[in-house]
Amino acid sequence: MDLYPLRSLGFKVGGNKVLPVFSGDWFETVAPEPGGSPLLYRLYSQEAKESRDGRREMAKANLAQVVAGLEAELIAVAG
């Protein structure tokens, strides 16, 4: 328990998984960095969020093309 201190446990009604909620600074525990956490900045900075948003929108825009390509492959294999 000392290696993974818990604040609480949660669960989803109708589910069978227990969801642990970590007590403390997860980033500091997992990847301690002298002088701050570049990992935290890399994941949660405004630039990182905007980059993810842009990639997400690109993926959504290409989704129909990807589906059509997979359907064509499936027809070729099954046919």
What are 20-70's pLDDT values in tens digits?
777 777 667 666 666 666 767 777 889 989 999 999 999 999 999 999 999
Domain range for 23: 6-78
User: How many structural domains are present in the chain?
Assistant: 1
Under DSSP, the state recorded for 15 is: -
End-to-end CA distance of the chain: 56
pLDDT at 37: 67
Establish if 20 belongs to a structural domain. Answer: yes
What is the structure's pLDDT at 58?
Answer: 92
In a domain, 65, yes or no: yes
pTM exceeds 0.75 for this model: no
Residue 1 inside a domain? The answer is no
Task: Specify if 16 maps to a domain.
Answer: yes
Q: What is the DSSP letter of 70?
A: H
Please check whether residue 67 lies inside any domain of the structure: yes
